């Protein structure tokens, strides 16, 4: 009887050791999985932190651009200076032969009705140019000594590089009418050979 008890005790001890071993093995597995979960969570958090830092840096850059530099990222890009448009030339230089005229019959003959070829009603102080048909009405031209004006008229003798500028002013001479005074201004202009800047339509 005593031998059987001793043998049973040994078996219990052996089984107890197996159970403890299994518990330890399970504990180790659980710890490894826990560590793996912690590592994965840390990696996710690091990625989130990097994303937040990037967003913060981007917003700071925009703030500095707006407040310190003075530019607004939501506004349209600045308009290119006259002469260029996104790398494309918008002006050309014309070596022109420029005469002058008044709106009277002495210059316009039977077309002297105070109305230009594009139906513009001529008024005192008007500045405009008659140009060949290859320059559409409304084309801007800068003429030295006359100004920046639009093409608003045609002329039978206006072709090639020839242009004709208008003079129509109130008379400063009591002995001359407005047409006579303006005709004298046109004669004073005479004929000039100069370069003209033509703004090409886009």
Q: Are 151 and 138 in contact (CB under 8 A)?
A: yes
| Percent helix, percent strand, percent coil in the chain, to nearest 5 | 45, 20, 35
Q: What is the pLDDT of residues 126-183, one digit of tens each?
A: 999 999 999 999 999 999 999 999 999 999 899 999 999 999 999 999 999 999 999 9
% of the chain with per-residue pLDDT over 70: 55
Q: Are 139 and 150 in contact (CB under 8 A)?
A: yes
Q: Which two tokens stand for residue 147?
A: 């100004």
Helical ranges in 65-147 per DSSP H: 105-108
Q: What is the pLDDT of residues 39-70, one digit of tens each?
A: 655 565 565 656 556 566 656 566 665 555 55
Determine the Cα–Cα distance for residues 132 and 130; give it in Å rounded to an integer: 7
What Cα–Cα distance (Å) separates residue 40 from each residue in 35, 47, 75, 95, 163?
A: 9, 11, 43, 76, 81
Determine the Cα–Cα distance for residues 193 and 58; give it in Å rounded to an integer: 58
- Which of the four pLDDT bands, split at 50, 70 and 90, describes residue 201? confident
Instruction: Tell me how crowded residue 115 is: count the other CB atoms within 10 A of its CB.
Output: 14
Indicate the pTM of the whole model: 0.57
């Amino acid at each position: 009887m005593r031998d059987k008890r001793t043998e049973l005790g040994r078996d219990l001890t052996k089984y107890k050791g197996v159970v403890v071993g299994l518990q330890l093995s399970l504990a180790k597995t659980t710890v490894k999985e826990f560590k793996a979960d912690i590592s994965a969570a840390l990696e996710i958090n690091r990625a989130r932190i990097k994303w937040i830092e990037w967003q913060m840096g981007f917003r700071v850059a925009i703030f500095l651009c707006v407040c310190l530099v003075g530019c607004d990222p939501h506004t349209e890009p600045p308009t290119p200076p006259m002469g260029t448009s996104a790398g494309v030339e918008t002006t050309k230089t014309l070596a022109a032969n420029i005469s002058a005229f008044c709106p009277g019959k002495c210059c316009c003959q039977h077309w002297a009705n105070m109305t230009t070829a594009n139906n513009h009603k001529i008024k005192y102080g008007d500045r405009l140019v008659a140009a060949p048909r290859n320059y559409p009405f409304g084309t801007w031209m800068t003429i030295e000594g006359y100004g920046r004006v639009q093409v608003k008229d045609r002329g039978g003798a206006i072709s090639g590089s020839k242009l004709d500028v208008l003079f129509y002013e109130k008379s400063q001479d009591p002995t001359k009418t407005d047409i006579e005074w303006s005709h004298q201004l046109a004669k004073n202009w005479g004929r000039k050979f100069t370069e003209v800047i033509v703004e090409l339509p886009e």
